[in-house]
Amino acid sequence: MAEEIDPFAEATPEELAAQKETEAAAAAKKKEAKAKEVGKSTLVLAVKPADSEIDLDKLEAKIRELKIDGLLWGKSQRQEMCFGLFQLQMGAVVTDDVSIDDLQETLESWEDEVQSTEVIAFQKI
């Protein structure tokens, strides 16, 4: 006959230890799952060309070729600054582990094409 379980009986030390291990493992698993959740942000980056002769279509294509984990380029538009000079405004979604400063430094290292970059909008999602 099967062993009957007494719901009012006290647990043995072995059962208590096993229960604590199970609870600790569940808590660790929950904490690990929470740590894996990475926040995201949206940003709009203004890329100012070095001069009015820069082809913004080619510059945009070059920027979109940048492959950085956690970076997804969105829409772009040309915004007139002054005297027929346009800047490229590009939207992107980034995870929190992507360094926006590193992205800007990379773009600004293209001195022949990019004068400067500026974060116009940045919002956590």
Class of domain 40-124: alpha beta
pLDDT interval class at 56 (50, 70, 90): very high
List pLDDT tens digits, range 39-52: 899 999 999 999 88
List all residues 6 or more positions away from 70 whose beta carbon is below 8 Å from its beta carbon: 38, 94, 95, 97, 98
pLDDT at 6 over 60: yes
Higher pLDDT, 90 or 39: 90
3-state secondary structure of 91: strand
Q: In this predicted model, what pLDDT tens digit does every residue of 24-39 receive, in sequence order?
A: 888 877 777 666 667 8
Instruction: Give the pLDDT score at 47.
Output: 95
